[in-house]
Chain A
Amino acid sequence: MTTTTDALLLVQFSNGAPSTFTVMAGKGRGVAAFTFNIEALGIGRGSMPEARVGPSPLFPNTDFKPIPLKAGEDEDYMLALKQEMRGTMQRLPHNIKPHKSKSEVERYAERYLKQRRVTDEEWTPDWNLLPKELMPQKKKLRVKTVTKKKTVKISSKDTKDVLNKLDELAKTEDGNPEKSDDETEKEKKPRGEDEEEVEAEEYEEEDIEEDNDYIESYFDNGEDFAADSDENMDGEATY
């Protein structure tokens, strides 16, 4: 019985344009199946809204023109303040400029714009007010560069020293040089083989899976059809 009220509630309009009005009368089928007189609700024959097609427009027409904006000294001053504010905010050091891809050729205009940027001041926030983790890590960066330079130096200068050291080490271990070599080789070989095998296995598995997929999706062995036909048969039998 509640379905009739549902029908009423379906007279929902979305965004001005009415949606389609579906009739879900209590006892199903038929057109004039309301349990009450629709006229009583004030819905006449011609007053049904049209069906809606497509989404509502991005800039719908308004029935009434908007009233003009207030204009006066206050408004003008506030407008000026707003625009000035925007300008200064962009020149303050707090403004983070979007990352620009540097143009290859320096444009003529940039020379003039640069002159303006000179007024930019550095901003050093009070780190007492901010979490420690936000501090730019300048020190670490320096350390890194230093270490890099060192490694470069080592590679260029001290290679001889290192080689000498290695030679010395080899001499001290001369007692059993072959054995150690063999061991290392043995250790190396199986590892490599294992890795290869694992990879091969992975490939195989993938292949198998794909094959299976292929078979299931493409190759029809007729079993499905049989099952379907069985069901159909059953269905027919019940009729």
Chain B
Amino acid sequence: MHRACTGETRASGARGAGERKCCAVCVDNEKSHVSSGGLKTSAEKDDSPGAQNLRTIIHETDTSLDLVKKSLCVLVQHGTCVFSSGRKGPGSPTEYQTCSNWILRILRYPRYIYAAKTLYGDTGELIIEELLQRGHMTLSSTVKTVADRLTQNMEEGHSMDYGEVSNTFSKLVETHFLQRCPPPPRAGTKDSSTPATPATPATPATPASTAVPTPESFPDCYKIPHVTLAGRGKRQLSAEDGEDQRNAKKPKLDSQTHGDEGIYWQVNFERFHLHFRDQAIVTAVANKLDQTSSEIVRTMLRMSEVTTSPTAACTKPLSANEIFRSLPGSYNISRPILDQYLTLLVDDPMEFVGKAGESGGGMYVVNLHKALANLARATIESVVQERFGSRSARIFRLLLRKRHLEQKQVEDFAMVPAKEAKDMLYTLLSQNLVQLQEVPKTPDYAPSRTFYLYTVNQLPTARMLLQNCYKTVANLIERRLFETKESKRLLEKSQRIEAILASLQAGGAEPEQLTEVEEMITTTEKQQLEALRLHINKLDSAENQVDETIFLLESYVISTATSTS
């Protein structure tokens, strides 16, 4: 994190360079060089709509037509790229546009899958995993693949029923974790033939489809089609038999229809984000106060899950009575204790819970946006603390609390020796974590007659850190690619030996032979491989954990955007 923090402060409106780079690297990572090349150009162009047509992409990337087409197909399939037609009037070429949000979500895939596992078990995990890996799928094909995979992991003689899997699938849809893909935009020629905008003939060039329609704007978004699915997961047989079977099975599967062809499903990231947000609040309460209060907040959040809109600043008011009734019996919280906890939560400076009224034994809300802001502030504070030490963090917190302070006041309040305080303050200033505000007494800005006030602006600082995080992730990925490239030969060798071992074992070789092959990797090479594995694990873990920070800062920035508008 620290190494990557070399000033990346552009965040206003336009996407920062760090973010863009991160996008490119992400796609590079998951798919291929070719598609990332295409993406880079369409991202780097980044003029107002950032859209490009096929011809320009081919020209810019300097790759063959077929390859560009194929990579565009892949990008569209995974939702990392959208296309629209007729922006410049009917008949104009189809334009492609990258969705940086979707690309950055790739980082969070493990977290989505893990969340699905905790909520809906292995079946949910596999459903989400398959959908993420393939971009979008139909219900029937998802159920089939998942059932097959589950059967694969079961004991001999057992198999997974399709019905069970599709039950989990519908549960995921009911809780809005999955949604239908929006229907594709119609081609420009069709639009012109059907008089879509007869009321405004004077302005035919109005961009009809520049705004990408959200999936939620379609009424059938969470409606499950009627699917006829019966049967059980099939066990994939190993080696050559499997191949034959597969070939024999394929046409049979294709000929079957399940009544949901053309209805594709995708993962609803926003819903997952709400879940993550709620979890973050609950764990924060648990860390700040105790387990019991966190359970109370969890109950409140669960109660208002359905009634509160995703962008609301706080949940709908809940009376203490209602909360008491909804508390799971296993907690053993009596009514007076609940009241005490609620007052405690309201009095807490983090302001996770607020009081909205007195009726019904007191009305309480969870301040979602305030909680996010406070969590983001805590994150920024800890970044300052870990990078510049606890005394700098003290100055930083002081500025956050007192808003504007002169240098002398900082030195006094923070109780840090003047010279050190100055040093720290200037370092923070140079890193853009602290801002300087001039207040001249006279219009000539003479330094002797001007107040120099230091202040901290939380939102711009959060934005800056967010960009740094993106850059960090990009650096982590680059480093991982570098590490694997460096020891490519070694990796290939170990892979080869594993393959040989596997084939020997299958052929029923003698143990002496096996050990002989195993010894082809020397001990130093083994050590190197082990070190490499450690490094890569560390880099991958770091990627996951930086993404948690990214999530928090992103949600905070988004929440400020929605609460002001």
Contact = CB atoms under 8 A, between A and B. Distances in A.
B427 A13 contact: yes
Nearest to B449: A36
Contacts of B7: 14-15
A95 to B, nearest CB: 6
Nearest to B95: A131
Contact of A131 (B74, B83, B389, B444): B83
B77 A125 contact: yes
B499 A63 contact: no
Given A81-B110, A92-B133, A136-B69, A62 B447 contact: no
Interface stretch (B200-208, B269-277, B507-515, B540-548): B540-548
A95 B9 CA distance: 34
B234 interface: no
A35 B262 contact: no
B537 interface: yes
A1 B449 CA distance: 13
B72 interface: yes
Interface string A73-107: 01101110111011011001011111000000000
B427 A131 contact: no
Contact of B133 (A35, A85, A118): A85
Given A16-B427, A75-B541, A82-B110, A94 B3 contact: no
B387 A62 contact: yes
Contact of A1 (B133, B431, B446): B446
A109 interface: yes
Q: Chain A: interface secondary structure? A: loop
Nearest to A49: B426
A98 B34 contact: yes
A2 interface: yes
B447 A41 contact: yes
Interface in B71-104: 71-74, 76-78, 83, 85, 93-94
Nearest to B136: A129
A2 B388 contact: no
A5 B430 contact: no
B35 A96 contact: yes
A135 B31 CA distance: 20
Given A42-B407, A109-B499, A85 B83 contact: no
Nearest to B408: A42
A112 B503 contact: yes
A68 to B, nearest CB: 10
Most buried by A among B66, B133, B388: B133
Contacts of B54: 133-134
Interface in A106-134: 108-109, 112-113, 115-116, 118, 125-126, 128-134
Interface in A129-171: 129-136
Contact of A42 (B422, B450, B503): B422
A64 interface: yes
B252 interface: no
Nearest to A81: B110
Given A63-B389, A78-B544, A79-B540, A15 B430 contact: yes
Contact of A86 (B1, B6, B29, B129): B29
Contacts of A59: 3
Interface in A35-80: 35-37, 40-42, 47, 56, 59-60, 62-64, 66-67, 69-71, 74-75, 77-79
Most buried by B among A15, A35, A70, A85: A85
Interface of A: 1-2, 4-5, 8, 11-16, 18, 35-37, 40-42, 47, 56, 59-60, 62-64, 66-67, 69-71, 74-75, 77-79, 81-83, 85-86, 88-89, 92, 94-98, 108-109, 112-113, 115-116, 118, 125-126, 128-136
Interface of B: 1-3, 6-7, 29-35, 54, 66-67, 69-74, 76-78, 83, 85, 93-94, 109-111, 113-114, 129, 132-135, 181, 184, 187, 243, 262, 264, 386-389, 407, 418-419, 422, 426-427, 429-431, 438, 444-448, 450, 492, 495-496, 499-500, 503, 537-538, 540-545
Given A5-B445, A92-B134, A133-B69, 12 more contacts: A5-B447, A12-B430, A16-B431, A47-B419, A62-B3, A66-B386, A75-B544, A78-B114, A78-B544, A81-B129, A92-B133, A113-B495
23 contacts: A1-B446, A4-B446, A5-B438, A5-B447, A11-B426, A15-B7, A35-B448, A63-B388, A64-B387, A67-B386, A71-B541, A78-B111, A81-B129, A82-B544, A83-B540, A89-B30, A89-B31, A89-B133, A113-B499, A129-B181, A130-B184, A133-B54, A133-B93
